[in-house]
Amino acid sequence: MVESPDKPAPDLFVERVKEFNDHDMDTLCEATDAAIIDGGGFGWVNPPGRRALETYFRGVLLVPERELFVARLNGDIVGSAILVRPPRNNEAQAFAASLMHAYVAPYARGHGLARKLTKAVEDRARELGYHIMNLDVRETQTAAIRLYQSMGYVRWGEHPEYALVRGQSVTGFFYYKRLRPRKNGGGQ
């Protein structure tokens, strides 16, 4: 995106959130509603209402295996993504984390925030020692698919009835990305 010389560049920021103030919750819910209405892969097909969104996001902060990242445009939250660590009893897959529910509201796209958000989640996963990042996306989310593929995600499979959106089956694509070089011997 090219900025006009007389218009200041937008303030773009991505961070991990551990608590919300009222303004953050307002802008997070607004962005989530906009992404859901636009067909984002948040899981909801229709906005569930403010109370459900608040409960959901406050719940994310309570789950030890989940970390919430938000994208900000000029101070307002305009997108989010969740890093999901495997449960402690899943020793066989303890090397892999997942990126879930990533989106940027339609009114905030075009600034590179989705890439910054994805990179922040990847960096945190590396910091925590994970070797692989997994994610899945609806086939209808073509911009997200282009983004993930441009960032080195490899599509390994698809599910022809991954989601049901307005009575229509939607295929889902599954991706992974190696975050650390493979050790000798083919293991983690």
Bridge partners of 98? 84, 134
Q: What tokens appear for 124 in the block?
A: 């945190």
Distance CA 17, CA 42 (A): 18
Q: Where are the alpha helices (DSSP H) in 43-165?
A: 50-62, 113-127, 142-150
Full-model pTM: 0.91
Domain range annotation of the chain = 12-178
The CA R_g of the chain, rounded to the nearest whole Å, is 17
Distance CA 32, CA 153 (A): 24
Q: What is the 3-state secondary structure (H, E, C) of 61-86?
A: HHCCCEEEEEEEECCEEEEEEEEECC
**Is the distance from CB of 82 to CB of 100 less than 8 angstroms?**
yes
Distance CA 165, CA 185 (A): 43
In tens digits, the chain (188 residues) has pLDDT values of 555 567 788 899 999 999 999 999 999 999 999 999 998 767 899 999 999 999 999 999 999 999 999 999 999 999 999 999 999 899 999 999 999 999 999 999 999 999 999 999 999 999 999 999 999 999 999 999 999 999 999 999 999 999 999 899 999 999 999 998 877 544 44
For residue 90, give the amino acid letter.
N
For residue 99, give the amino acid letter.
L
Distance CA 84, CA 72 (A): 21
| In this structure, CATH architecture of domain 12-178 | 3-Layer(aba) Sandwich (3.40)
Closest CA to 120 of 92, 94, 151: 151
